[in-house]
Structure 1
Amino acid sequence: MKIERRKTGIAEVYTASLNDIMFFLLLFFLIISTMVTPMALKVLLPHSSTAEQVAVKKNIMLVVTGDRQYYIDDQKVGFGEIESRLSAILKNNTTPDGKAVEYVVLLQADKSLNVQDVIDLVDIGNKLHVKTLLFVDKT
């Protein structure tokens, strides 16, 4: 009598889906690595007694609607109050850690306004010695 032996199965790992998984992991790490600020090299910087402090830039939003409503940082103000409110903001020109603050007025004016209305606001910025930038739409 002939006894049949069991055929031993060959152990195999199914790797067809492994390519898809590796592709998604690679894609995930590439996307995440672009979002992280690069701080790859840490260097000890030398000290200098004559170095100037770097100014921190802060923006002040000045919005003018088509019906001449004025807003400074989302707070409604009258036209006569704009100069005093801006000068009050500009007086605080240092941060708690002693760095100088450089302010920039970002002017958003409705396109239906007269040019003179916009120039009046730019003149206020010039009186206060602050840079004024006018926002426009790219067409």
Structure 2
Amino acid sequence: MAIKRNKRFHAEVHASSMSDIMFFLLLFFLIISTLANPNVIKMTLPKSKVNEKTNKQHVSISVTEEKQYFIDKQPVAFEELEKELLAKVGNDKEQTVVVRIPFNLQVQDLVDVLQIGVKNNMKFVIATNPK
């Protein structure tokens, strides 16, 4: 009597190592996304007790301690700041402009930037750190 055995090859995929790889990728991207900051220009902002967060799209003006001006990370001379800001905002006068200025600069430097907003009827907000 001849008994045939069924010895067919069955392909198997071991998913245990795949789940480890996916876990490490997820962890990597979570860490990288928390380190990625839209404001690459580092400065110490003034402190305040009350903060509000803006969820809207906004234009950012940054002033460094050396009085270098940036609009959304693009360097701009102070003389060209108003023209470049108006070009960036366009016709949308309701768009918020966030001013990031170090706490140790003079008040006159802040006022010079805010006068551009008053002159053109724009909404300006000063960025602060929580106390």
TM-score under structure 2 normalisation? Answer: 0.54
CA deviations on 1:22-63 (whole Å, 9 max, x unpaired) are xxxxxxxxxxxxxxxxxxxxxxxxxxxxxxxxxxx5300000
How far apart, in 2, do the equivalents of 1:71 and 1:130 lie? Answer: 18
* Runs of 4+ that moved beyond 6 A: none
Following the alignment from structure 1 to structure 2, what is the Cα–Cα distance between the partners of residues 63 and 90?
16
1:64 equivalent to 2:63? Answer yes
User: Letter of the aligned partner of 1:118 in structure 2?
Assistant: L
- Matching residue's letter, 1:65: T
- What CA distance in whole angstroms lies between the structure 1 residues aligned with 2:97 and 2:85? 9
Q: Which has the higher contact order (CA 8 A, sep 6+)?
A: 2
The number of residues matched between the two structures is: 76
| Structure 2 unpaired stretches of 5+ | 1-55
Inter-partner Cα distance in structure 2 for 1:92 and 1:119: 24
- The TM-score with structure 1 as length reference comes to 0.51
RMSD of aligned Cα (Å) = 1.4
After TM superposition, the structure 1 = structure 2 runs for residues 54-133 of structure 1, keeping only pairs within 5 Å, are 57-93=56-92, 102-133=94-125
Rounded Cα–Cα distance in structure 2 between residues aligned with 1:87 and 1:58: 16
- Higher CA-based Rg: 1
% identity of equivalent residues: 34
